[in-house]
Structure 1
Amino acid sequence: MAKTLHITNGDSFTSVLKKLNIGGDIVTWREMLCEGKTINDVGSESFWKQRYDYLHKAYKITKDTFINKTLKEYRNLCNQKSQEEIVLWFEYDLFCQVNMIAVLSWLKKHRPQAAIHLVCSGDEDSSNKLYALTELSEAKLLDLYNNKLPLNKDDIEYADFIWQLYCENNPIRLQNAIQQNKSQLNYLSAAMESHLHRFPSLKNGLNELENQMLQKTISKKPKTKEEIISEMLKDQGIYGFGDMQYNKMANNLRPLYRSFNPAKLTKTGIKVAEKAENYYPNIKSDQEYLGGTPKYSFLFVEDSAQLLKL
């Protein structure tokens, strides 16, 4: 068995990593822990049951698909016990950062003796653009690998602490903790701040991304739902979401649309977009979770960027 284990953020980058010929075994972390309810004991039976229940309900993921894609790869991770070094390949965005801290929480418990290194893409040049790993050249990826960041005990403890808070029903504690970030996990605070913006706005009951979707419908005049999703993918800041997530969001907002083809808002939709009407009572659901917190149990106060418990 190789001395190095690589844990990647998804299949797209795994295929890139295989071509780099840097040696080592590769495990792909196939999850989207930024969505749906999470519990803090990563890899436990109750953890995977919770995840399957969510993915099946939200995205119609079948049990066979979940077992073959996610659980088999997790079991592969469990079987990698002899490597002296573990290298994590993740990105700057919320999608990746939540998965990363969950993996670090698991490693803290199950691989305490391993030397853990991080390759995290993001701010790679003098432009304002943040880069995904798959957007970088082979030479740049090799440079990042050769300068990979050794994570110390404090970094891993902090990642685990933020993961525990993410899984709690108290995002105000999480907000306070990310403001005290002294770790080497440079993108974690900003990613978690964007997570807090996913709670519904005090002004109209929709969160930052839902409001953005309505605004893009007004300003870009997309002809179809697919064009709305395309606009969201182009300009989403540090969320890092995929088309599946934006399709689900559009379906949740469907009552505010007269039509998706062409995409047009109802009168209520326009009022909500203008924050002249609060849609909270209509969209509120006890089934929606952000980490360990019911989504509609807190409001985001935009003027102060603070959370308000209901």
Structure 2
Amino acid sequence: MPALHIVNGDSFGNKLRASGIDGEILVWRESLYEGPIGMHMSDSVLLSLRASYMNHCYGIPENLFTSGTLHQEALLNKASSSADELVLWFEHDLYDQLMLCYLLSRLMDRPYQTSLVSMDHFPGVWPFYGLGQLTIDQIRTLHGTWIPILEDQLHLARKVWSAYSAPEPLPMASILEEDLSVLPYLKKALTAHTARYPSVQNGLSAIQELILSLLRDGELSLLSLFSQVSAEASGYGLGDLQFWHILDQMWHCDYPLLRIAGATELPKYGEALPPQFDQVCAGLTEVGRLAATGKADHISLNGIDDWIGGVRMLGKKDIWRRISGSIGFSKL
């Protein structure tokens, strides 16, 4: 079997194919940023939990999610034993770095060469968000630039994935104290990961805090808000569906932090943006203003029902929270 190129995103996958690259292309479509996580993502119990989560949060049909995950895992198993070379194309942000660690952890015992293209910039492209921005001609300049994965990179990826899958955040805090430079974008990405936990000050994640701060001076359209959050928090690699879900959690709760005018619900999987969606706006409620200044606690008021990696976040008390200004966690 010739080389197999594994990429994130159909846009880049289509451009890479059009660039005349030698080999097959597998677009990895599993979002490892969200939902319950384990060491092997095709585990039947875990897969059932994930399918239910993705259906509840995004409206993805459970059978479609399950079949898609099993299909790409089967392709990876086949390629692991038969492809002459695997080439992984992944960017610097958290979304991609988690995929990279999972795939490398799965490929530790592969007898053939695995190589990597990973970057956080490209000449003439600013700001650089990802490989999907590149033109076909720009992508052609990357042909053959991939670098073989080393043994210490494989071991670090397995260690990171084990910590990410753990039922508490302390193993990840430990890893962040180590030298992670063999995978140069990993430390920044994992630091962003820790900021997904609610703060001890207000029960808000860093993204939620950013949303409230951007709305402090008045309403913004959801599209403008998404654009600004994407620019200021580019290290996460957030997609639009993920962003709508974050807003929904802050809107449809016992004590809403946001009020949204012009819509009763936000788009789900497979749904086009409704007419006049550009006029749908978000603003702060009084509770949102109090939370933004640390005078109200989102978790204490509204609780949480979510996953961060392998950590189950459920309820109003005994929830893992991040300690601001340090790589540390506490249960409150």
Fold conserved between structures, TM > 0.5: yes
Structure 2 distance, partners of 1:197, 1:150, is 31
Aligned ranges 1:111-126 → 2 under 5 Å: 112-125=110-123
Aligned ranges 1:90-239 → 2 under 5 Å: 90-109=90-109, 112-125=110-123, 129-219=127-217, 221-222=219-220, 224-239=221-236
Q: Is 1:94–1:240's contact at 8 Å kept on the other side of the alignment? A: yes
Structure 2 distance, partners of 1:169, 1:141, is 39
Structure 2 distance, partners of 1:97, 1:125, is 21
Q: Which residue of 1 aligns with 2:277?
A: none
Structure 1 pair 191–220 and aligned structure 2 pair: CA distance change class (3 A): farther
Structure 1 pair 299–126 and aligned structure 2 pair: CA distance change class (3 A): farther
Cα deviation digits, residues 202-222 of structure 1 (max 9, x gap): 111111001111111224631
Aligned ranges 1:1-310 → 2 under 5 Å: 1-2=1-2, 4-67=3-66, 69-80=68-79, 81-109=81-109, 112-125=110-123, 129-219=127-217, 221-222=219-220, 224-254=221-251, 255-261=256-262, 262-285=281-304, 287-295=305-313, 297-310=319-332
Structure 1 distance, partners of 2:159, 2:7, is 22
Structure 2 distance, partners of 1:242, 1:59, is 12
TM-score (norm: length of structure 1):
0.90
Moved more, 145-154 or 63-72: 63-72
Q: Is 2:35–2:53's contact at 8 Å kept on the other side of the alignment? A: yes
What RMSD over aligned residues (CA atoms) do the two structures have, in Å? 2.2
| Counterpart secondary structure, 1:108 | coil
Aligned length: 305
2:299 counterpart letter in structure 1 = Y
Structure 1 distance, partners of 2:180, 2:328, is 21
Superposition deviation, residue 47 in structure 1:
3.6
1:288 counterpart letter in structure 2 = D
Superposition deviation, residue 141 in structure 1:
2.8
Q: Is 2:180–2:187's contact at 8 Å kept on the other side of the alignment? A: no
Structure 2 distance, partners of 1:172, 1:62, is 34
Cα deviation digits, residues 92-146 of structure 1 (max 9, x gap): 111111111111111125xx21211111121334998444011224444333342
Structure 2 distance, partners of 1:233, 1:269, is 21
Gaps of 5+ in 2: 263-280
Structure 2 distance, partners of 1:18, 1:126, is 22
Structure 1 distance, partners of 2:217, 2:147, is 42
The percentage of counterpart residues that share the same residue type is 28
Moved more, 133-142 or 264-273: 133-142
